[in-house]
Structure 1
Amino acid sequence: MSRLFSVREIARQAGVSDATVDRVLHGRGGVRHSTAAQVRQAIKDLEAQGAQLALSGRRFMIDVVVDAPERFQREVRKALETELPLLAPAVFRARFQLHERWNAAACVAELDRILVRGSQGVILKAPDVPEISAAVDRLAQAGIPVVTLVTDLPASRRTAYVGMDNRAAGATAAYLISQWLGGSPGSVAVTVSNDFFRGEEEREMGFRGAMRSMAVARRVEYLPGSDGLDATVRDLLGTLLDTDPSLSAVYSIGGGNKGIVAAFHAAGRAPAVFIGHDLYPDNIELLRAGRLNAVLHHDFRYDVRKCCRIIMQAHGALAGHDGTEVSKIDVVTRFNIPVGY
């Protein structure tokens, strides 16, 4: 375990007491397994952000709180650790709370812990439910700016939303599917991970509205509650395939795309058109294999850089206001996968 950082630095990064860090460093008992893992992860985060810590400038400690599948967590962490050194002369350090299948009460408890220990800002991806919005309001009241990422909490006092125009993304998917299916018959399945993620809801609404205007007779089957996980979405779609022999296309909003492929394979069928979101490794593999027709992608590095700029602006450390322009939507096929993916 690294000794490049003081107990105080590690404790601040992990959000625990100095005594807890000391016990973990020296292998003493009395520390829960989850807390010890949190301390070890804090040291890894400090090591990953080491180049940033060597810089001089105004310092910002931010918290990244995300409810999402692991693939999304990895992309956000990677994007932040790439972008933080580029924000010089400002010096950013990030603490991460990244969870899969998190419940709202646990998210609220984490936001309230941040309120108690202090932070210069929070980057948040969470469901749009009243208790989380209320926790965001408490942070705002204390002068801690909250920037929502990818999915919004518009009824809260969050400082800004960063991400694509989700209704436009859904309409773009409807356009692509309508063009590729043409006049052929068949229904379309739309999968989402969680009904309470505002961004996913808006994508579905944009898709359904555009599909009505372009192919009013085409039936849209809605599959909620997959959690974006392969096994769950495979089971949900497998049940639909058993009952709907006309299903010919899928718009995967919430992910779990290998599960979608597996469900079609088990049914002895293949979708005529399959649209997903984001250039995760699984999606790149499916694109290259011709299993995904297109992925709607936005640049995570651009998004997290914008989040940090908004936090700096909220503290008066940077002029201007970056909270109005949405992220660009790229349509990526197997023929134009960006370099580096």
Structure 2
Amino acid sequence: MGHPYRIREIAVQAGLSEATVDRVLNGRGGVRASTVAEVNQAIEDLHRQRTQLRLAGRTFVVDLVVDAPVQFSSGVRAALEAELPGIRPAVFRSRFHLTEAAPVADIVATLGRIATRGSQGVVLKAPDDPRVVAAVERLVGVGIPVVTFVTDLPVSPRTAYVGIDNRAVGATAAYLIDQWLGDASGTVLVTRGDGSFRGEDEREMGFRATQRTVAPNRRQVDLVNTDGRDDLHRLVLDALAAHPDIVAVYSMYAFGGNRAVVDAFAEAGRTYRVFVAHDLHEHNLALLHDGHLSAVLHHDLRQDMRHACQVIMQAHGALAGHPRSWHSAIQVVTPYNLPPSPG
């Protein structure tokens, strides 16, 4: 059996003496068949573990570029930092470029600086804008793999997308709302943030298409709170005044917005039968606990970060397999399956 391993490595793996391994490898007599099998098995084991051997001592510098509300970007940063110690024997170091509602030109400038100074990989959440796509092209052109997450840039040459399937999660929201409402009539209020992120576009498309299938006569009212600059509370009050039959809410809005929706319903003296939101941050946990949210659609950011790091290693040939996109599992969290509080 051909192999690149030293006799000492095989002996350690097999738990045999170097002299015994030498006799087996060179076909000398006086060795039991079971011992030959142990040596062959040790070589097979070393083959399977070559990836780890290649990773030993490797350092990967990764840039996390996220344009999102502070609570979300902080959660992503914490998720990446929590995963890094477990990615062994490789060593990952991360640099953070976290902004909120930044001009596209600023995001492009950040990506340009990374392309100039070098990086082993970029994990990117950014608007689907031609200038961002061009910046990704430059990164990939100088050999820096780019992993998009949460929201994709499918027309760019990004290495892979990691995160939730946004069409599927929108469809899941429509299904859950229909299950709660049953045959009840009424309108669904859909709230969302800025329209420049493809992920929210895909969630809305998945929601609309599924609602059209499961409840074709149910109306949908869309409320777009651009970049968080509008008064969401006022916008919801206006929507409630214009549509007295709103009985359900699907919120794709950024962190902190759902409390404004709940407060607006209370001020208008209105109630809803179901409220489905996204992401299990502290505000949504409190709203779930108090019964203001019916369900939260959640995905594991740590798992996303783990897969993003694996894609980067694969892109550099340090991990077996070819880089490919990966979708997070959709978790449906209700007031009855809340995660335990820390501590």
TM tier relative to shorter chain: 0.7 to 0.9
Contact 2:147–2:160 at 8 Å: present in 1 too?
A: yes
**CA distance in structure 2 between the partners assigned to 1:115 and 1:204 by the alignment:** 33
CA deviation digits over 1:262-306, x for unaligned, max 9?
Answer: 221221222211000111010010001000000011000000010
Deviating above 3 A after TM superposition, structure 1's stretches of 4 or more consecutive aligned residues are: 225-229
Q: 1:248 to 1:226 in 2, by over 3 A?
A: farther
**CA distance in structure 2 between the partners assigned to 1:299 and 1:67 by the alignment:** 19
- Residue ranges of structure 2 left out of the alignment (5+ in a row): 1-54
Deviation at 1:254, TM superposition (A): 2.4
Contact 2:312–2:323 at 8 Å: present in 1 too?
A: no
Deviation at 1:70, TM superposition (A): 1.2
| Residue identity matched to 1:311 | I
Q: Report matched runs for 1:125-204 at 5 Å.
A: 125-204=125-204
| Residue identity matched to 1:320 | G
Contact 2:101–2:227 at 8 Å: present in 1 too?
A: yes
**2:296 aligned counterpart, secondary structure:** strand
Cross-structure match for 1:18:
none
Count of residue correspondences: 286
Is residue 2:112 matched to residue 1:84?
Answer: no
**CA distance in structure 2 between the partners assigned to 1:106 and 1:235 by the alignment:** 30
Cross-structure match for 2:265:
264
**CA distance in structure 2 between the partners assigned to 1:66 and 1:218 by the alignment:** 36
Cross-structure match for 1:34:
none
Cross-structure match for 1:301:
302
Cross-structure match for 1:320:
321
Tell me the C-alpha RMSD between the 2 structures.
1.6
- The percent identity for this pair of structures is 56
Contact 2:315–2:323 at 8 Å: present in 1 too?
A: no
**CA distance in structure 2 between the partners assigned to 1:232 and 1:72 by the alignment:** 20
With normalisation by structure 2, the TM-score equals 0.80
**1:227 aligned counterpart, secondary structure:** helix
Deviation at 1:244, TM superposition (A): 1.1
**CA distance in structure 2 between the partners assigned to 1:306 and 1:115 by the alignment:** 22
With normalisation by structure 1, the TM-score equals 0.81
- CA radius of gyration, larger in: 2
Cross-structure match for 1:239:
238
**2:240 aligned counterpart, secondary structure:** helix
Deviation at 1:338, TM superposition (A): 2.5
Contact 1:299–1:327 at 8 Å: present in 2 too?
A: yes
Contact 2:240–2:268 at 8 Å: present in 1 too?
A: yes
Deviation at 1:227, TM superposition (A): 3.2
Cross-structure match for 2:121:
121
Cross-structure match for 1:65:
65
**CA distance in structure 2 between the partners assigned to 1:92 and 1:266 by the alignment:** 49
**CA distance in structure 2 between the partners assigned to 1:147 and 1:234 by the alignment:** 35
Q: Report matched runs for 1:272-283 at 5 Å.
A: 272-283=273-284
CA deviation digits over 1:122-149, x for unaligned, max 9?
Answer: 1000111111011001100011111001
Cross-structure match for 2:75:
75
| Residue identity matched to 1:271 | Y
Q: 1:113 to 1:207 in 2, by over 3 A?
A: same
**CA distance in structure 2 between the partners assigned to 1:111 and 1:174 by the alignment:** 36
Deviation at 1:228, TM superposition (A): 5.7
CA deviation digits over 1:42-69, x for unaligned, max 9?
Answer: xxxxxxxxxxxxx972111111111111
Contact 1:188–1:250 at 8 Å: present in 2 too?
A: yes
Deviation at 1:325, TM superposition (A): 3.2
| Residue identity matched to 1:321 | H
